[in-house]
Amino acid sequence: MRVHWTAKALHRLQQIHDHIAHDQPQNAKRFVDRLTLRAEAIALYPQAGRIVPEYGCDTVRETFEGRYRIIYRIRPDRIDILTVRHGARLLPARTQDL
């Protein structure tokens, strides 16, 4: 199964990079690489991630890299990365608003 990054998720990844790069430019790329590798690993065992408690939907799951939540949707032919968010941030009421 392949991993597909949505436009919103890619935008969030860029925001994370830019935020870290402001103070620690050398660490920004490394951390984004770690997030990307964690997301790509989802393809091997998509069901291993936990169901996102805020949504309670079996197809919307998450895995963690440090304090960041990588939230994804399992589709029949691919995994959609919906967003990457710091664990302290609240999620919107609907997955469409991620």
CATH number of domain containing 55: 3.30.2310.20
pLDDT, tens only, 46-88: 999 999 999 999 999 999 999 999 999 999 999 999 999 999 9
Is the pLDDT at 96 greater than 90, yes or no?
no
Domain count, the chain: 1
- CA-atom Rg of the chain in angstroms: 13
**How many Cα atoms are found within 13 Å in the side-chain-facing hemisphere of 54?**
13
**Alpha-carbon distances of 74 from 4, 51, 59, 80, rounded to whole Å:** 10, 11, 5, 7
Domain assignment of residue 96, yes or no: no
pLDDT at 43 (0 to 100): 94
Domain that holds residue 41: 2-88
Domain assignment of residue 93, yes or no: no
pTM: 0.93
